[in-house]
Amino acid sequence: MSAPGDDGRARPRVRTGSGLVEGRVDAHGSAVFRGVPYAAPPVGALRFAAPAPPVAWEGVRDCGAFGPTAPKVPYEHTFAALLPDPQIPGDDCLTVNVWTPDPAPATRLPVMVWLHGGAHTRGSSAVPVYDGAAFARDGVVLVSCNFRLGVLGYGLFPDAPANRGLLDQIAALEWVRDNIAAFGGDPARVTVFGESAGAISIGALLAAPRAAGLFSRAVLQSGAPEALPRDKVRAMVRRMASLLKVKATAKAFADTPLPDLLAAQAAVLHKSSPLVGGAAFGLVIDPNTLPEDPLEAAARSEVPLLLGWTTEEYRLWLAPTGAMRLLDRLGPLALWLARFRSGKDRADVRALRAALPGASPAELAGQLLTDSLLRDPLRTLAGARRAAPSHLYEFAWPSGVPGLGACHALELGFVFDTLGVPEASWLAGPDTPQALADEMHSAWVRFAVTGDPGWAPWDGNGPPRTFGGPETKEERVEEPRATRRVLP
């Protein structure tokens, strides 16, 4: 159904379980609905509670714009120049967005649900690079969602449920199960996909009993299933409580003004890093939400997987901060520190030197950490699975921003086919190859539709399917140096 808007153009309408929503039609003719509630606003008594059902509304709800983003602290300036992260004020942040080529219940198209990254503390579905228009253009119903972040989503308290961000994601998938047919989607053909913390979340969804049956395929981009030690997550809460001078309980934190809470969170986050370790916000083993190790559960799962990494993940964390120069100055000490952090031995270093002749100490140290955090567990997962196939990939195209190489998150504009979005160039630089986006985006669509991305499942031997490569760098027409951002 549809109705005319103020501009005279027809606006699509769909009835959800909570009420009627009105969207917009994009340039491709697809219907787009933004900011549709899947749960009640997490405020007041619900700030640290499990997600509650959305409040029904009368009449028509305008869903032409993204809803509020989950409360978060901004990236530090070095990363804010590379990673777009809009902040939209408001309390009603537990919402989904839907792009569909045909909002009719009889259509029954495959569905893809996107979980954004951001170290469990940042990001949102409103990032322009995550626009779902290309998926809808290619016959897929694309759903993206917001969920609670940082201490609100993952802080561990004695008087609140653990893993609230995960519970939000499950509630969003339950909304998809119950409502997506009205948007033209098939609730029996749902593929979840996510990057970084979003991929880690999918690892947890594979292990969470309540998520069983909510999706049939999964894509893990640059994130391996993991659960953090409870003490590591609890330490973040204790540090915040010390700064706020309150008890380390959900009640005390709920009584604290949100700006004060976020300021304390920013202070404790400043001391943590994906590479260096330390206390962090993340998923924990919990009898009610995540009862077993996600990596072990994913290995037994019957859900087909597409999983992989970028060639130089570490460069996103090390290059913008100048840490690459520091590690090169440290020389052998940098390698010793990386070995200590990653659990690697001298034989691993020798093998890496042989594979990367001429690599600097910083590059070797960064790659050791990348292998430990991502490649090794993802390969282990793919090799251990027997009940369902696993397709491995590697994204090797180097960014046009000097110093970044084939870094973490670089593949996102290619997967979403959004290289034309201005924010995509923040990380990828100029002159991105559209043919590579066509190739990668098509593989993701094919996996969602058929379960086969276009290459054989991994059998434990040989390299993963590679997208792009260093040779592409030589073909790029460089901008004048004065107009380019240069990283250390």
Q: Which of 120, 391, 408, 441 is catalytic?
A: 408
Task: Tell me which H or E stretch contains 177.
Answer: helix 164-179
Cα 234 to Cα 151, 281, 282, distances in angstroms: 10, 9, 10
**Bridge partner residues of 22 (DSSP):** 13, 62
Side-by-side strand order, sheet with 60-62: 2-4, 10-15, 20-22, 60-62
If one counts every other C-beta atom within 10 angstroms of the C-beta of residue 334, the result is: 23
Neighbours of 138 (CB within 10 A): 18
Query: Using CA atoms, how far apart are residues 382 and 322, in angstroms rounded to an integer?
Result: 34
Question: Would you say 42 and 75 are in contact if contact means Cβ atoms under 8 Å apart?
Answer: no
Asked if 94 contacts 50 with a C-beta cutoff of 8 angstroms, the reply is no
CA 445 to chain centre: 17
313 classed as catalytic: yes
The CA-CA-CA angle for residues 17, 147, 251, to 5°, reads 105
Please provide the DSSP assignment of 121-173 as one string: TS--TT-GGG--HHHHHTT-EEEEE----HHHHH---TTS-S-HHHHHHHHHH
Q: Which one is catalytic: 312, 313, 363, 394?
A: 313
Query: Apex CA 420: angle with CA 416 and CA 423, to 5°?
Result: 85
DSSP class of residue 69 equals P
408 in catalytic set: yes
∠ CA(149), CA(74), CA(191), 5° rounding? 45
- Whole-angstrom CA distances from 222 to 61, 145, 197, 201, 289 are 36, 19, 9, 12, 23
Which backbone phi and psi does 60 adopt, to 5 degrees? Answer: -110, 130
DSSP, collapsed to helix, strand or coil, labels residue 360 as: coil
- DSSP for 369-407 reads HHIIIIIHHHHHHHHH--SS-EEEEEE-PPPSSTT-SS-
Which residue among the candidates 124, 125, 144, 196 is catalytic per the annotation?
196
Helices (H) and strands (E) in the chain, counts: 19, 14
Query: In 153-192, which positions are buried (b, 16+ CB within 10 angstroms) versus exposed (e)?
Result: bbbbbeebbbbbbbbbbbbbbbbbbebbbbbbbebebbbb
Active-site residue 196, yes or no?
yes
Catalytic positions are: 196, 313, 408
